[in-house]
C-alpha cells in the first residue's frame, strides 16, 4: 500500500541552525500538510500546500518556517533559525483531493531535537 | 475555535476485554477521523465518520458518530495486545478551508496479556 515517507527519522541540531525536513507524499495526492507534536501535547496543524503554494497556515507557522515542493515528489519543511521550542515530532501528511471524505495519510514523522 | 476532548486519557485492560474511547467536540463535527499512533511512529488512519448516527466497523473496532454530530466513540471488542497504542480523534477544522485537522490529546491504551 502506498505510504508517506519522511526523512530523517531523527534530527539533532544546534539552536540557531537551519534544518530541512523531507517528505515524499503518496504519488497521486494533491494536498500536502505539515503537523507537529510537542512531547506530551496534541498534534497541531502547521501548514497546508496545494497547487505549489501555501493554502493555509497556523499561527505557529511564522517567518522562520517555509515549505517547498522542489520537484514532483518531495515536500520539504525548512526552519531557518531553530529555537529550543521547535523540538517536536514533525509529521507530513497528504490527501488525494479536497473532498472532506478523503482521509489524510501520515508519515512516521521526524523527531527534531534542538540543543 | 473548535476543541476536541478525549476520555479517558489512558486505559489499561486485560486481553479479551471490551473497551470504549470517547471524543467530544465543542462544535458540530463535519468530518471525524480516528487514528492510531504507536510510540515514536506516525498516525495510522482507522476510520472516518461524516453523517449523524453513522457507524463503521473494521475487524474488531467500531466507531460511531452521534446524531447531533458532536460526539464520537471508538469501541474495541475482545482487545488484543496488538490494539495497544494511542488513539487520536481528529476533526476537520471548523474555520479551516483546506481540510486541516485538529486533534484531541489522545487516549493511551495498554492491553495486558
Cis peptide before B8 (omega within 30 of 0): yes
| Residue in chain B lying closest to A102 (CA) | B48
Q: Is B48 on the interface with A (CB under 8 A)?
A: yes
| Cα A52 to Cα A30: distance, rounded to the nearest angstrom | 10
Cβ within 8 Å of residue B112, ≥6 positions away? B12, B13, B14, B15
Longest dimension (CA), chain B: 44
Judged by CB atoms closer than 8 Å, whether chains meet at B100 and A103 is answered as: no
Beta carbons of A11 and A111 less than 8 angstroms apart: yes
Query: What's the total number of domains in chain A?
Result: 1
The full set of domains in chain B, from first to last, is 4-112 (2.60.40.10)
Domain carrying residue A20: 5-98+107-114
Q: Which chain A positions have a beta carbon within 8 Å of B6's beta carbon?
A: none
Judged by CB atoms closer than 8 Å, whether chains meet at A109 and B42 is answered as: yes
How would DSSP label each residue in A27-88? TT--EEEEEEE-TTS-EEEEEEEETTEEEEE-TT--TTEEEE--SSS-EEEEESS--GGG-E
Beta carbons of A36 and A23 less than 8 angstroms apart: no
Tell me the pLDDT of chain B averaged across its residues.
91
The three grid cell numbers given for residue B14, joined into one nine-digit string: 486485560
Q: Give the B window 54-83 contacts with A, CB below 8 Å.
A: none
Each residue's pLDDT tens digit, A51-109: 899 999 999 999 999 999 988 789 999 999 999 999 999 999 999 876 656 889 999 99
Each residue's pLDDT tens digit, B69-106: 899 999 999 999 999 999 999 998 766 566 789 999 99
User: For A56, which of B40, B97, B106 is closest by C-beta distance?
Assistant: B97
Q: Is B28 on the interface with A (CB under 8 A)?
A: no
Beta carbons of B95 and A59 less than 8 angstroms apart: no
Each residue's pLDDT tens digit, B23-59: 999 988 888 999 999 877 889 999 999 888 999 999 9
Residue A41: CATH number of its domain: 2.60.40.10
Amino acid at each position: 500500500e502506498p505510504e508517506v515517507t519522511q526523512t530523517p527519522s531523527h534530527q539533532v541540531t544546534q539552536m540557531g541552525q537551519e534544518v530541512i525536513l523531507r517528505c515524499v507524499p503518496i504519488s497521486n495526492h494533491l494536498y500536502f500538510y505539515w503537523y507537529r507534536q510537542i512531547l506530551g501535547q496534541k498534534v497541531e496543524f502547521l501548514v497546508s500546500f496545494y497547487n505549489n503554494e501555501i493554502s493555509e497556515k497556523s499561527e505557529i507557522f511564522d517567518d522562520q518556517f517555509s515549505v517547498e515542493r522542489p520537484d514532483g515528489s518531495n515536500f520539504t519543511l525548512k526552519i531557518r533559525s531553530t529555537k529550543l521550542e521547535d523540538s517536536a515530532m514533525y509529521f507530513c501528511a497528504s490527501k488525494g483531493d479536497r473532498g472532506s471524505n478523503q482521509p489524510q495519510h501520515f508519515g512516521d514523522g521526524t523527531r527534531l531535537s534542538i540543543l | 475555535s473548535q476543541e476536541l476532548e478525549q476520555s479517558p486519557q489512558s486505559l489499561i485492560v486485560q486481553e479479551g476485554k471490551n473497551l470504549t474511547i470517547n471524543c467530544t467536540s465543542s462544535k458540530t463535527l463535519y468530518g471525524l477521523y480516528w487514528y492510531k499512533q504507536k510510540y515514536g511512529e506516525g498516525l495510522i488512519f482507522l476510520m472516518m465518520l461524516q453523517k449523524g448516527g453513522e457507524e463503521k466497523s473494521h475487524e474488531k473496532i467500531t466507531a460511531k458518530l452521534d446524531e447531533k454530530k458532536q460526539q464520537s466513540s471508538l469501541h474495541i471488542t475482545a482487545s488484543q495486545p496488538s490494539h495497544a497504542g494511542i488513539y487520536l480523534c481528529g476533526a476537520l477544522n471548523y474555520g479551516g478551508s483546506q481540510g486541516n485537522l485538529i486533534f484531541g490529546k489522545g487516549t493511551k491504551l495498554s492491553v495486558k496479556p
